[in-house]
Amino acid sequence: MNRLLSVSMLSADFEQLGNSVDMVNKSEADWFHLDIMDGVFVPNISYGFPLVRAIAAKAKKPLDVHLMIVDPDRYLEAFKEAGAQLLSVHYEACTHLHRTLYRIRALGMKAGVVLNPHNPVELLNDIVQDADFVLLMSVNPGFGGQSFIEHTYNKITRLKEMIAKSGSAALIEVDGGVSQENAERLYAAGADILVAGNAVFSAGNPMQAIRQIKGIQ
């Protein structure tokens, strides 16, 4: 079982962004998680290409870019050029999801599909073989610091079984309300990658918080 951690930069202090990137570089974290919000697909606006490029210039670990936007197909090439190495799109935002995932892969990135909390994992039964990872939202997307939705554990287990039956090698990523308190149970349920932002950047010692979430003694 993988125990990867993607640190959500949405929770970082943007006035100290360079220091936050350096901290993640030096930490036991595996990826930088970047949430791209357009104010349409989700009720919030985050950041765009200039900030992605700025983080990519300093990052020594892969950029895990999560598109919470309408019509993401318009921007796949642009996010590749900005520095994304993993790119995930919402099931709910893609009319032709199969084509979108193949386009992401053709551009040389790992392709992920994201599922909102209200949707069952069974919707992905015919596409999971074509994804490198599946991102399960464990809060409603749009804002950091929300409470974890407990039903997520069951969804992880069902998705893990679906992936095994399909012969897919897709990893399971979980985003929203991840903390030191629930990380172990999430990994045990079958999650491979956890996304943590508030639990990291609100901690007195962010690097230690990362170790704790990953279960590193």
Q: How far is CA 167 from CA 44, 51, 133, 149, 206, in A?
A: 37, 37, 13, 28, 37
- Among candidate residues 30, 35, 38, 192, the one labeled active-site is 35
Contact 77, 107 (CB under 8 A): yes
> Dmax of the chain from CA atoms?
46
- Residue 73 is among the residues annotated as catalytic for this protein: no
pLDDT number for residue 43: 85
pLDDT number for residue 86: 98
- Residue 130 is among the residues annotated as catalytic for this protein: no
State which fold the 4-214 domain adopts.
TIM Barrel (3.20.20)
* pTM check: above 0.85: yes
Sorted by where each begins, the domain ranges of the chain are: 4-214
Q: Which of 59, 48, 67, 83 is nearest to 7 (CA)?
A: 59
pLDDT number for residue 141: 77
Walk along the chain (217 residues) and give the pLDDT tens digit of each residue.
689 999 999 999 999 999 999 999 999 999 999 999 999 999 889 989 999 999 999 999 999 999 999 999 999 999 999 999 999 999 999 999 999 999 999 999 999 999 999 999 999 999 999 999 999 999 987 666 668 999 999 999 999 999 999 999 999 999 999 999 999 999 999 999 999 999 999 999 999 999 999 998 6
pLDDT number for residue 88: 98
- Among candidate residues 30, 130, 132, 175, the one labeled active-site is 175
**Which amino acid type is present at position 145?**
G
pLDDT number for residue 185: 97
**Alpha-carbon dihedral angle through residues 151, 207, 172, 146, given to the nearest 10 degrees:** 30
* H/E run at residue 133: strand 133-137
